[in-house]
Amino acid sequence: MRISHREKTGSDGWILAALVVVCFIVITIYFREGDTGPLRTTRRGLNAALAPVGRAGFVATKPLRAVGSWVTDLTVSRGELETLRQQNVEMRQRLIELEEARQENERLRELVGFVEARELEVVGARVIGRPTTAWESVITIDRGGADGVETGMPVLAARGVIGQVVETGERSSRVRLITDQRSGVAAMLQPTRAEGVVYGSVDGDLTMDFVSRDTTVNVGDVVLTSGMGGVYPKGLLIGEVADVQVNEADLYPRIRVRPSAVLAGLEEVVVLRDPATED
């Protein structure tokens, strides 16, 4: 026998109504009965029976929850990434500035110690220009006539003589280094007091000429200014003997001098205003 659509719909409606009434009755009994009532007792039994299943589910889903937490944290970190990157750049820049200041302080401390030990009257200056050609060893400093700098004044670094002022402006001056091919410094060997002249060259090497062949010259001998000529005061450090050759055909020994001051990359110098003679 075929049931019509209308009859089926009516039957489903009665079932739904019956279920609603039953649920209402059960809820009413549950809230009115005491803790020892049959419904509450049944509920506690079901909870106890299902507890192992709940614990197993918690353990099984723990890795998934951990991954979700990591993804959440990762999302937060990405949001802060730009701020952290900027802070990192600022910290690195600060470290660079502090290291630059530390190195400058060390150079200035060495330079001040050199000046104070010899009681020299000087003008401090910074190098603002490097040699412009390979054939000319001339630097520019930020002190000039307005600062008391005059043409002919010696220029020193922390470890010795570096050159002489050859041109002066109002606020800057040009200094010819001792390695320049046109430079010549009256000098002497410290151990023997033998005198000569230290010359520069096109390739930047220093040589000491006009030293007597009878003079004993050894590698490592200190070379000082002799004070002759009135340009450089006596006793300033130039360098040391790096190599010496004595040939029968030469009038003088060939002496190569290694400068004490580091001429490449000079940053701070002093101009000697009072060339008092040193012993």
CATH number at residue 209: 2.40.10.340
Q: In the chain, count H helices and then E strands.
A: 2, 12
Q: Is residue 115 part of a domain?
A: no
Q: Is residue 208 part of a domain?
A: yes
Q: Is residue 77 part of a domain?
A: no
Q: Give the span between the Cα atoms of 54 and 215, in whole angstroms.
A: 103
Q: Does 169 or 278 have the greater pLDDT score? A: 169
In a shared domain, residues 34 and 162:
no
What band does 122 get if pLDDT is binned at 50, 70 and 90? confident
- Domain span holding position 232: 122-272
CB distance 217 to 173 below 8 Å = no
What band does 276 get if pLDDT is binned at 50, 70 and 90? very low
In a shared domain, residues 220 and 137:
yes
Q: Are strands 254-259 and 268-272 parallel, antiparallel or unpaired?
A: unpaired
In a shared domain, residues 52 and 146:
no
pTM for this predicted structure: 0.60
How many domains is the chain partitioned into structurally? 2
Q: Is residue 81 part of a domain?
A: no
Q: Which of 176, 194, 181 is nearest to 232 (CA)?
A: 176
For residue 102, the model assigns a pLDDT of 63
Q: Does 210 or 47 have the greater pLDDT score? A: 210
In a shared domain, residues 142 and 267:
yes
In a shared domain, residues 131 and 267:
yes
Q: Is residue 88 part of a domain?
A: no
Residue after which a domain boundary falls, among 64, 85, 103:
64
Average pLDDT over residues 250-255: 92
Average pLDDT over residues 105-119: 57
Q: Is residue 112 part of a domain?
A: no
CA atoms within 13 A on the CB side of 196: 26
Q: Element (H or E) spanning 117, and its range?
A: helix 38-118
Indicate whether 152 pLDDT > 80: yes
In a shared domain, residues 34 and 171:
no
In a shared domain, residues 163 and 245:
yes
Percent with pLDDT over 70 in the chain:
61
Q: Is residue 181 part of a domain?
A: yes
